[in-house]
């Protein structure tokens, strides 16, 4: 009888791997729970401070007023503004990311060209893109295209620099080994450089998420007739701070969703290329 009980207990005992996975899963649950708790606590303190008069809700707004403002806005009109901003951001983000990677590949392939253009890239990265706003409007017109160009300009240089640094950081010995085995530059790029820089590419996308939203809102500040940036400008001009804060909260939600999409890409790369 004791032997059977011992056998059952032994069979039910978790393996070290199962214990590790369970701890990892529990740790993730705890982190998410704490994150949600902190967010709810922040909104609760904000609402309480406004209700007790500790802060002026006319200036800072509060969660209840934000909800009331969103409820009062026509849904079709609100989604129109969200759609404009989201489209401008996503288009600028995709174009900048794809073209930035292509330019980084070109500069990696031609070393002399990279050395010639490197100082110009550094200068362009340091240039405040907002200063180009009036020029962009004259070049492409006062519309969504100007906002997309602004988003593109803010993301493109950072993309080129980060990806190019990753490409040039690959072990030169591995490249020489592949060359000694007769590999072409294209094979070195596709079989070594890009797979080795999957973490760099994913991190670049994460950075571009934030930069794309900054560029979009900056563009909408300069020229827009619709979009969340337009609502923020309009709300500040007529002192409707509830509208300003409501638009800001929506921006935070959209940015989070976009970041989660990139995180989904990261999970796919982990399955394809291993740990990132």
Q: What is the pLDDT of residues 234-262, one digit of tens each?
A: 888 888 888 899 999 999 999 999 999 99
Q: What is the mean pLDDT of the chain?
A: 85
Q: Cα separation of 101 and 111, whole Å?
A: 16
Return the minimum-mean-pLDDT range out of 1-10, 59-68, 238-247.
Answer: 1-10
Tokens 């007739």 correspond to 225
Distances 194 to 108, 178, 228, 269 between C-alpha atoms, Å: 12, 14, 37, 12
What is the pLDDT at residue 273?
A: 66
- pLDDT at site 274: 58
Judged by average pLDDT, the poorest of 55-59, 62-66, 84-88 is: 55-59
pLDDT digits (tens, 9 = 90+) for 151-164: 999 999 999 999 99
pLDDT of res. 3:
53
Please count the CA atoms within 13 angstroms of the CA of 213 that sit on its side-chain side: 18
Placement of tokens 């080994």 in the chain? 177
**pLDDT tens digits, 67-122:** 888 888 888 888 998 999 999 999 999 999 999 999 999 999 888 888 898 888 88
DSSP for 27-94, written as a single string: HHHHHHHHHHHHHHHHHHHHHHHHHTTSS-HHHH--HHHHHHHHHHS-HHHHHHHHHHHHHHHHHHHH
Q: Angle, nearest 10°, between helix axes 228-237 and 75-109?
A: 120
DSSP symbols for 217-264? HHHHHHS-SSSHHHHHHHHHHTT-HHHHHHHHHHHHHHHHHHHHHHHH
For 33-56, the pLDDT digits (tens) are 998 999 999 999 998 998 888 888
The answer, yes or no, to whether residue 6 has pLDDT greater than 60, is: no
Distance CA 184, CA 148 (A): 37
- 276: pLDDT confidence band, cut at 50, 70 and 90? very low
Predicted local confidence at residue 37, as pLDDT: 92
What integer pLDDT is reported at residue 142 of this predicted model?
A: 77
CA–CA distance, 243 with 231 (Å, rounded to integer): 7
């Amino acid at each position: 009888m004791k032997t059977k009980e011992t056998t059952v207990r032994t069979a039910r005992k978790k393996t070290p791997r199962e214990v590790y996975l369970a701890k990892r899963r529990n740790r993730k649950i705890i982190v998410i729970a704490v994150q949600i708790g902190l967010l709810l606590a922040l909104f609760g303190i904000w609402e309480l401070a406004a209700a007790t008069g500790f802060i002026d809700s006319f200036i800072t707004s509060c969660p209840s007023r934000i909800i009331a403002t969103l409820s009062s806005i026509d849904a079709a009109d609100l989604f129109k503004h969200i759609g404009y901003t989201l489209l401008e951001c996503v288009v600028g983000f995709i174009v900048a990311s794809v073209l930035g990677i292509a330019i980084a590949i070109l500069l990696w392939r031609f070393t002399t060209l990279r050395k010639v253009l490197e100082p110009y890239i550094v200068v362009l990265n340091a240039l405040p893109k907002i200063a180009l706003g009036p020029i962009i409007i004259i070049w492409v017109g006062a519309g969504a295209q100007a906002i997309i160009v602004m988003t593109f300009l803010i993301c493109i240089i950072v993309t080129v620099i980060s990806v190019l640094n990753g490409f040039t950081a690959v072990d030169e010995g591995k490249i020489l080994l592949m060359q000694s085995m007769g590999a072409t530059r294209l094979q070195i790029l596709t079989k070594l450089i890009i797979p080795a820089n999957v973490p760099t590419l994913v991190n670049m996308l994460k950075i571009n998420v934030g930069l794309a939203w900054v560029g979009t809102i900056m563009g909408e500040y300069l020229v827009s007739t619709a979009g969340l940036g337009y609502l923020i400008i309009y709300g500040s001009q007529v002192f409707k701070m509830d509208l300003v804060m409501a638009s800001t909260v929506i921006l935070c939600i959209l940015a989070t969703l976009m970041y989660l999409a990139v995180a989904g890409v990261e999970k796919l790369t982990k399955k394809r290329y291993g740990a990132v």
